[in-house]
């Protein structure tokens, strides 16, 4: 599994793509990458789940934590590319009411 961070200079949006799983064993890596981007002044973050297999509750918890931290500094986090299974996890836990979830990463980037 890996995380890819890419900034679109035209829009100022940082795209974080999760390849593989977001689970207890790697959630801190994702948190560090996003916090590092925030430390560099980035405020528009899209997390792209197009290539993500599954997420566990600790992965969901990290997303909640990041969402809070980004909002605290006046930024915003968008989620994109969730397949039906992943979207089910957000719906079951009602986290779909906490996050802005868009269909594609491009759509999410255009929504800031």
Partner 1 sequence: MTAPLRLYVRRSETPEPDSDARRVQISLRVPTDLDVVEETVDLVARHCLACGVPPRAARFIVRVVLCETLANAIVHGNQMDPSKRVEVRVEVGSSEVSLHVRDEGNGFNPGLIPDPTEPDRIDLTQGRGLFLIRQLVDEVHFNERGNAICMIMRRE
Residues near partner 1 (CB under 8 A) are 1, 21, 23-25, 53-58, 60-62, 64-65, 68, 85, 89, 92-95, 97-98
Complex with partner 1: residue 10 or 92, whichever CB lies closer: 92
Q: For residues 6 and 25, what is the distance between their CA atoms, to the nearest angstrom? A: 23
Q: Which is nearer to partner 1, 23 or 35 (CB)?
A: 23
Alpha carbon separation from 4 to 49, 51, 81, 90, 106 (Å, rounded): 11, 11, 15, 22, 16
DSSP 8-state assignment for residue 11: T
Taking the complex as a whole, the smallest distance from the CB of residue 53 to partner 1 amounts, in Å, to 7
């Amino acid at each position: 599994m890996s995380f890819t961070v890419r900034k679109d200079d035209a829009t100022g949006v940082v795209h974080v793509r999760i390849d593989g799983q977001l689970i207890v064993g790697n959630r801190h890596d994702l948190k560090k990458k996003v916090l590092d981007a925030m430390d560099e002044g980035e405020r528009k973050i899209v997390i792209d789940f197009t290539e993500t297999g599954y997420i566990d509750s600790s992965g969901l918890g990290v997303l909640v934590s990041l969402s809070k931290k980004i909002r605290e500094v006046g930024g915003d986090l968008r989620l994109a590319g969730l397949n039906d299974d992943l979207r089910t996890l957000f719906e079951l836990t009602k986290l779909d009411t906490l996050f802005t979830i868009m269909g594609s990463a491009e759509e999410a980037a255009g929504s800031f």
